[in-house]
Chain A
Amino acid sequence: MKIYIFGVMKNSSNKITLTYVLILLFVTVIGHKVVSNLPSDTISDTILKYSYIKDLVLILFSGLVFKYILYRNDKRNESIFEKLQETNNEILESNERYDIVAKATSDTIWDWKIEEDSFTWNKGIEVVFGYKKEEVGKTSKWWFDRIHPEDSLKMSVKLYSFLEQKTEKWQDEYRFQCADGSYKYVFDRGFLVKDKDGKPIRMIGAIQDVTKQKEEEQRLRLLETVITQTKDAVVITDIDTSENVIPNIIFVNSAFTDMTGYLPEEVIGKSPVMFSGPKSDILEFDKLKTAIQEYRECFVETISYKKNKEEFWVNFSMIPVTNKDGEHSHWISIQRDVTEEKERDKEREQLIRELTQNNKDLKQFSYITSHNLRAPLSNLTGLLNLVDDMTITDPELKEIISGFSKSTHLLNETINDLVKVVIIKDNPSIEKEKVLIKEIFENVFNQLSFLIGLHKPILKIDLEEITILNINKSYLESIFLNLLTNSIKYRSENRQLRVNISSKVVDDNLVLTFKDNGIGIDLQRNKDKIFGLYQRFHNHPDSKGLGLYLVKSQVEAMGGTITVESEIGKGTTFTIIFKNN
């Protein structure tokens, strides 16, 4: 508008001068005409002419002066105009720059006209925070409402102190709510626009989304707590091996101080070689040295020394780390005091050694004992065999010899059974062979033919066609022999003995059941003892309490299991399961 007015004025300056001159000339000419036509001779013609010429000159002169004044005025206006235009251009340019910057930056720019409380946002509010154009509020309240409640108080205190110009700068970090309700960490910087009285009228701010940095910062802080809070000592060294074979320490955590007594400043810049001492393992040290030369990770266990020279067992890793360009930049070492574990290990090893020795001694002892028992016993048996052939006429002597013979044979059997147990216990890896169950039964029946003939039990044998087991033949024979003998020994006097023996393949297992209708065992009382050594449940003259113990030992030596069910007066069932593979 102003520009237009100035333009009009400039063009019309000549016209105005011309009009002024013309009007004056017109008035002068008219005046002269009137005066010359007056019927008076009082004014001479000469004077009139002179006056006329003088008026014209005066008019021209004043016209020139007027023109000059107008010209000067124009000039001044022009320079003002130019200045204004310059300023105007600057503003335009600056506006343009602002627009470009606002577009180029990822920042969200806001502009707050304080007195009217009118708040405008740039595109960022939509792009960064996800608001739709129509959702964006037009007042500062909308802005405040979206600041995280935990941050708003602190933030507004700072902001108002800035608005009251108590502080020079304003920048703050707070959480700003997005359209979806989530919060972003933002960094907001603002400046004030003041009027000529220095009163703030506008505030313009730029919000930077620092969520990623913030999260990264928090992540790093979390990672840092691993190092600072861990109970394991952490040592970081550089990679310079020019001074020492093990590079110098640049960081230790507090757990390291707890472990060794050294404060960080006492070890930083020094090589960890300082922790080794006379009892440190030289081989482990060499291993570490080589690993460092080859940039390989390495695990070391050695005696190390604390600040107070106390020795302790340390277990540590030495791991090369690389910077983001993939270059080897540091070594990280995680260390642990394993003295207690070491001592426990030592104690355990000692204990195992002692136990192994004890076990060996006991085994030797049982062999020697059984040998020493067997040697005279075999003599007794041999001598009695000789007596058997002799005729003894004295009835009393005959009775004595008979008792002597029975006791000797019983003793012999017991010793033989015990010897078997010793051998089973000593030989966990017994020889296994393919065995046909039927054959074994035949063997057992042959051995028991006398007892079977005597008591005539009803034997029901239900074996699956071909049942081949990969087990020790003599053990299986002994198991059947013991079980069948037990059935006969502990038969009920009230009914004929019935024994059911069956074999079945179930899944991958071979299940053998051995069922009789004998006197049974009180399992409620004897559950734990039934397979125990020297456990007797019936007062039977031949009972030694060894049979079932032997059976269980043999079954287990072959990797099988045995269980029992029994009811007094009804009978007993044994179930033996072997894995058939």
Chain B
Amino acid sequence: MLDKIFCVDDDPITLMLCKKVIERVEFAKEIITAQDGEEAIKFFDDLASSQNNGEVVSYPKLTFLDLNMPVMNGWEFLDVYLQKDYQTLFPEAKFIVLSSTIDPDDVNQSMKYPVVVDFMSKPITKEMLENLKTRF
């Protein structure tokens, strides 16, 4: 069981569904959510500044990231994240794109990011999480 899991999605129902399923399969102890990329970056910014202040922070090892979001979408988020070099600051943080997109380019594009480990189609299911449990 993971300590922390981060879900980024603009759709509250999706977030609710994520929470419910994660709880049911006991995938993570704590579920943090953000509504768009900007909010998610802010979350990592805060973590980074705390860590730079010498605090020991626990960061989520896994993030479910939606692609189509207002303000800052999934791609922009990933670009900023890498630009800020957070992958060295949070070496164990991995991302799974969780999207309802069908554009095959999106799938290929997501695999180009080193921090993205998988691309999954919505909805999130118990089976998916059980499967992930073996990897994390």
List B residues 25-80 near A (Cβ within 8 Å). 68
12 new A-B pairs (CB below 8 Å) besides A371-B102, A379-B14? A367-B102, A370-B102, A371-B100, A375-B14, A375-B68, A379-B11, A379-B123, A381-B123, A382-B17, A385-B126, A386-B24, A422-B102
Judge if B114 is at the interface, Cβ distance under 8 Å.
no
Set of chain A residues within 8 Å of B13, measured between Cβ atoms: 376, 379, 383
B126 and A375 within 8 A (CB): no
Q: What 6 pairs between A and B have smallest CB-CB spacing?
A: A382-B123, A378-B122, A374-B100, A378-B123, A382-B17, A419-B102
A408 to chain B, nearest CB (A): 11
CA distance A423 to B101 in the complex (A): 12
Choose from A379, A423, A427 the contact partner of B17 (Cβ within 8 Å): A379
Judge if A389 is at the interface, Cβ distance under 8 Å.
yes
A382 and B24 within 8 A (CB): no
Known: A367-B101, A371-B102, A378-B122. A386 touches B68 (CB 8 A): no
A313 to chain B, nearest CB (A): 41
Known: A371-B68, A375-B11, A389-B24. A382 touches B103 (CB 8 A): no
B104 and A382 within 8 A (CB): no
CA distance A354 to B49 in the complex (A): 51
CA distance A512 to B90 in the complex (A): 54
Judge if B124 is at the interface, Cβ distance under 8 Å.
yes
A371 and B21 within 8 A (CB): no
B102 and A386 within 8 A (CB): no
Question: Residues 360-372 of chain A: 1 if any B CB is under 8 Å from the residue's CB, otherwise 0?
Answer: 0000000100110
Q: Name 23 A/B residue pairs within 8 A (Cβ), A-sorted.
A: A367-B103, A371-B102, A371-B103, A374-B122, A375-B100, A376-B13, A377-B100, A378-B100, A378-B121, A378-B122, A379-B11, A379-B13, A379-B122, A382-B17, A382-B124, A382-B125, A385-B125, A386-B17, A386-B20, A386-B24, A389-B24, A422-B102, A427-B104
Set of chain B residues within 8 Å of A419, measured between Cβ atoms: 102
Set of chain A residues within 8 Å of B104, measured between Cβ atoms: 423, 427
B17 to chain A, nearest CB (A): 4
CA distance A370 to B100 in the complex (A): 9
B73 to chain A, nearest CB (A): 12
- Beta-carbon nearest neighbor of B13 in chain A: A379
Count of residues in B whose CB is under 8 Å from the partner chain: 19
Count of residues in A whose CB is under 8 Å from the partner chain: 19
- Beta-carbon nearest neighbor of A383 in chain B: B17
B49 to chain A, nearest CB (A): 34
B66 to chain A, nearest CB (A): 9
Set of chain B residues within 8 Å of A422, measured between Cβ atoms: 102
A385 to chain B, nearest CB (A): 6
- Beta-carbon nearest neighbor of A415 in chain B: B102
A382 and B21 within 8 A (CB): yes
- Beta-carbon nearest neighbor of A389 in chain B: B24
CA distance A367 to B103 in the complex (A): 7
A423 to chain B, nearest CB (A): 6
A423 and B21 within 8 A (CB): no
List B residues 91-132 near A (Cβ within 8 Å). 100-104, 121-126
Set of chain A residues within 8 Å of B103, measured between Cβ atoms: 367, 371
Set of chain B residues within 8 Å of A386, measured between Cβ atoms: 17, 20-21, 24
Set of chain A residues within 8 Å of B102, measured between Cβ atoms: 367, 370-371, 374, 419, 422-423
A416 to chain B, nearest CB (A): 9
Set of chain B residues within 8 Å of A381, measured between Cβ atoms: 123
B62 to chain A, nearest CB (A): 18
CA distance A370 to B7 in the complex (A): 23
A424 to chain B, nearest CB (A): 11
CA distance A432 to B121 in the complex (A): 24
Instruction: Specify which of B21, B68, B121, B122 lies most central, judged by the most chain A CB atoms within 10 Å of its CB.
Output: B122
CA distance A419 to B125 in the complex (A): 21
CA distance A378 to B20 in the complex (A): 15
CA distance A383 to B125 in the complex (A): 10
- Beta-carbon nearest neighbor of B11 in chain A: A375
CA distance A138 to B125 in the complex (A): 121
B122 and A375 within 8 A (CB): yes
List A residues 348-407 near B (Cβ within 8 Å). 367, 370-371, 374-379, 381-383, 385-386, 389
Set of chain A residues within 8 Å of B101, measured between Cβ atoms: 367, 371, 374
A541 to chain B, nearest CB (A): 25
Set of chain B residues within 8 Å of A375, measured between Cβ atoms: 11, 14, 68, 100, 122
CA distance A389 to B104 in the complex (A): 33
CA distance A19 to B122 in the complex (A): 165
Set of chain B residues within 8 Å of A374, measured between Cβ atoms: 100-102, 122
CA distance A63 to B11 in the complex (A): 171
A359 to chain B, nearest CB (A): 15
- Beta-carbon nearest neighbor of A367 in chain B: B103
